Homo-oligomer: A and B are copies of this chain.
């Protein structure tokens, strides 16, 4: 056909040059380190020892590089939402959402951190829009719009406490796995308390 620039369909051809993948890797590293705007294509190209034009063989635009990377986060998010929409709105479901969300986050921690730290930039990119709408959907699934405000805030905080966790625990000593578990637990507690406060409040 011509130029690539699409996601490799299915199991891809054998060794179709791994440059595409290398670009994504290096780009994510630099985006995460310095921010999206401050990372130039020149820099990415230099780090890979190719020319800027080579990047354009593999991706249509700078944003396209980012979009392609962001799929790693966007896809599991979509899947999580799809799954959750098929479940009862029970506490058990909500807690399972948090568990799965935790896995997703820690599975793409660099990418996620990048999105967090570049929200202003990413906001008007497709990537940002997608992420925002995913978060909104998740919010709807975890809170009960008929509950008192305090309970709703608690639920939503559960979700976001896991974001905060990723940043904040840099200042807390301890085994990473243990911290991660602690963060999740705080979140699980919060939804549980939200539920309870509805009943007893």
Contacts and interface: CB of A to CB of B under 8 A. Distances in A.
A36 B63 CA distance: 18
Chain A, interface residues (CB within 8 Å), range:
35 or more
Interface in A163-178: 163-165, 167-169, 171-174, 178
Nearest to A170: B136
Nearest to A179: B149
Interface string A26-59: 0000000011111000000110011110000000
Nearest to A49: B1
Contacts of A165: 153, 157
**Which residue of A3, A121, A140, A159 has the most chain B CB atoms within 10 A of its CB atom?**
A121
A1 B42 CA distance: 12
A169 B51 CA distance: 45
Contact of A156 (B121, B168, B185): B168
Top 6 nearest A-B pairs by Cβ distance? A35-B120, A160-B164, A117-B120, A117-B119, A153-B182, A37-B37
28 contacts: A1-B51, A2-B46, A2-B51, A2-B52, A3-B51, A35-B37, A35-B120, A35-B123, A116-B119, A117-B119, A117-B120, A117-B123, A118-B120, A139-B168, A139-B171, A149-B174, A150-B182, A153-B179, A153-B182, A153-B186, A156-B164, A156-B169, A157-B165, A157-B168, A160-B167, A161-B164, A163-B164, A189-B193
Interface of A: 1-3, 34-38, 45-46, 49-52, 114, 116-121, 123, 136, 139-140, 143, 145, 149-150, 152-154, 156-157, 159-161, 163-165, 167-169, 171-174, 178-179, 182-183, 185-186, 189-190, 193
